[in-house]
A and B are shown apart, each in its own frame.
Chain A
Amino acid sequence: MNAHAPAAQAPHRLTTSAMIASIAEDGQRTAKAPFGHALARLAEERQDIVGLSADLAKYTDMHVFREAHPERFFQMGMAEQVMLGAAAGLAEVGLVPFASTYSVFATRRAYDFLCLDIAEPGLNVNVVGALPGLTTGYGPSHQATEDLAILRGMPGLTIVDPADSVDIEQAVPALAAAPGPTYLRLLRGAVPTVLDEYDYRFELGRAAQLRGGRDVLFISTGLMTTRALAAARDLEADHIDVAVLHVPTIKPLDRETILREATKGRLVVTLENHTLVGGLAESVASCLAFAGAGTSSGAGTSSGAGTRIVPIGLPDEFLAAGALPTLHDRYGLSVKAIKARVRAEL
């Protein structure tokens, strides 16, 4: 065997893990299948809750619900269009469906059905998309890096990007209670449990400040909130004081809180597990620009051009396949990459 044989390099090279790798970091507390358990619990209280999946129950934690309430689970096969159409039909007769598949299929493949069957009539259908952003190393076929961009333009759709298991557990009953259609970016499997350490409750449509800080404001959503919290803690050692504002609801955006927090003269950094096109960064940017923030008060900058935003997110390109830690480092989503970016910007 020569020195270049793969075996010789194996210990140093990460490999693409199973399709859905856990995003938990070493030593992090996790909860197993928080969505499935939350839905099964909710269904104990609400007889109108039903579940559907498109041959991905096992991979979207819907199997927990299916096992608890088999008579209320409808398997639709690998057919996302009819799954969303059928979810609309179930809602039309008064039931409250949660329909799960991968985000790429819910958004790219079945958009017309989500738009016209569910959103246009304003039905209480809750679409649950797994593998949002960069949470799989399988490449563009599975990486829903632009799902928020696709869906933000859909009138009446509530979009939620939860940070951890606590967020998911609390979001599920809130989404069912909301009268209109929703889209939940699902974290599945062993999901980090972080927000129970903070004075936090999920409120639909509300951003929540998780920690205060004088120098930098992180505005984050989804799994990037847990990374933002870790980066903020580490940056204390550099005497950089970082606040974290968690924005679990992408639409409708909590403009009031964002506007108030982003205009206090701190460096504003947005963090999202999504392309920089059409996601949180542009939502925050348009929120500030439409409000004229920074242009007259000079709160954010002295240039008069408005509050500058440092956007951390995925590049506008089709991403590589590989191991998630490698990819998160490469594309700037890792805690290490976040800290380096903040230091460079200050």
Chain B
Amino acid sequence: MTPTTSRSAPAQSPNPQENLQENPQKPAPPDDAHTRAARTERIRTLQDSAYRIRRHALDMGEIQGQGYIGQALGVADILAVVYKDVLNYLPDNPEWPKRDRFLLSIGHYAIALYAALAEAGVLDTAELDTYGADGSRLPMSGMASYTPGMEISGGSLGHGLGIATGMALGLRHQGSRAHVYNLLSDGELDEGSTWEAALACAHHGLDNVTAIVDVNALQADGPTRGVLRTEPVTDKWAAFGWHTIRVDGNDIEALVSAFDELRAHRGSPAVLVCDTRIGRGVPLLETRERAHFMRVEPDEWQIARDELAQGHKARGRNPEPRGARAHAPAAPAGSTEAGRSPQSHPHRTGDDA
């Protein structure tokens, strides 16, 4: 599908120096058969990643016998694209100063992020078995002090975008080209602090910030439209001075196109509004009465795994067995473009050297 976009007027910072951003516009790739084939393979690879993230999440959910499995399945496609196609990071060095930051303010989505961090090579897949156990580095609600690759402690909603604001201000002040991403939920749009941060990002012209809003239209007390109506979500962000794109957040091709467009965007913060479906990929859970905290019976986990595998197979894909590392090891900081890991931004390689 084609992403829908609305351009907002670029915010100008009162300090002219702050507007000096390099604009490494990428030339449009030649639209030949080779490029199309490469893109198809790129999409398929990401679909495989999304499959494994879902599979990891189901396995972790089974260990706990419960969890935010619906959200994890819903957001898996976004995380696959972000961690395998967008973020610039070194899996073996989560503290690398030049890394892009990915801030999970929705702490209860931690199950999904752990799965993504395993897919990204930041965590060992075997460690996922410790999810929620005493002494584990993978607590039920995500916290930076526990988990490598977890940038902030989420959980109290409405915090992520404010921290992203400061990181982006600081990184720009330091001359870094690192980008700051914040994954937030549509429920989090209830929090006034989210909008304080939205104002601040636009006012300061922080085009190194991208908010990703997971619109699953569900929050703790029920459907968002009945709890506190947030639509029209895209119009609100646009009115706050953000460049907006809205896509089907379970359509990997649409997500890839959207992030490709965002790479070239300058002059204002950007938001990618993603409509997702709770339980996506597992019909048993997709059709269940929608619940913020989904109950899954002990005998249902295997059914869920089977349904997930069937759905993936129907796309003609044969997922790798659990535990296989899915990424190429990244090159160390300062390496050349050719030596970079596949998850590096082409236009960001070799920066800040």
**A positions within 8 Å CB-CB of B:** 50, 70-72, 74, 76-77, 79, 81-82, 84-95, 97, 112-113, 116-117, 120-121
**Chain A residues within 8 Å of B166, by CB:** 85-93, 97
Beta-carbon contact of B167 and A90 below 8 Å: yes
B163-204 vs A, CB cutoff 8 Å, 1 = contact: the mask equals 111111111011010000000000000001100110110011
**Chain B residues within 8 Å of A72, by CB:** 173
Within the complex, which residue of B145, B159, B163, B199 is in contact with A92, where a contact is CB–CB below 8 Å?
A: B163
Measured CB to CB, the nearest residue on chain A to B204 is A74
Can you list 11 residue pairs at the A/B interface with Cβ under 8 Å? A50-B170, A77-B196, A82-B193, A85-B166, A86-B169, A87-B166, A88-B162, A92-B166, A92-B167, A94-B170, A116-B153
Measured CB to CB, the nearest residue on chain B to A115 is B156
CA distance A59 to B153 in the complex (A): 32
Beta-carbon contact of B159 and A113 below 8 Å: yes
B324 within 8 A of A: no
**Chain A residues within 8 Å of B145, by CB:** 120-121
Known A-B contacts A77-B200, A85-B162, A87-B166; the reply to A121 vs B192 at CB < 8 A is no
**Chain A residues within 8 Å of B152, by CB:** 92, 117, 121
Known A-B contacts A95-B173, A121-B145; the reply to A71 vs B17 at CB < 8 A is yes
Q: Do most interface residues of chain A lie in helix, strand or loop, or is the interface mixed?
A: helix
Beta-carbon contact of A93 and B193 below 8 Å: no
**Chain A residues within 8 Å of B174, by CB:** 93-95
Known A-B contacts A89-B168, A90-B167, A116-B153; the reply to A84 vs B162 at CB < 8 A is yes
**Chain A residues within 8 Å of B158, by CB:** 81
B15 within 8 A of A: yes
B125-165 vs A, CB cutoff 8 Å, 1 = contact: the mask equals 00000000000000000001100000111011011011111
B101-135 vs A, CB cutoff 8 Å, 1 = contact: the mask equals 00000000000000000000000000000000000
CB distance from A262 to the nearest CB of B (A): 37
Beta-carbon contact of A93 and B170 below 8 Å: yes
Beta-carbon contact of B170 and A82 below 8 Å: no
Beta-carbon contact of A113 and B170 below 8 Å: no
**Chain B residues within 8 Å of A93, by CB:** 97, 166-167, 170-171, 174, 176
Measured CB to CB, the nearest residue on chain B to A74 is B169
Known A-B contacts A112-B156, A117-B162, A121-B144; the reply to A85 vs B170 at CB < 8 A is no
Known A-B contacts A93-B167, A112-B156, A116-B159; the reply to A86 vs B173 at CB < 8 A is no
Beta-carbon contact of A79 and B196 below 8 Å: yes
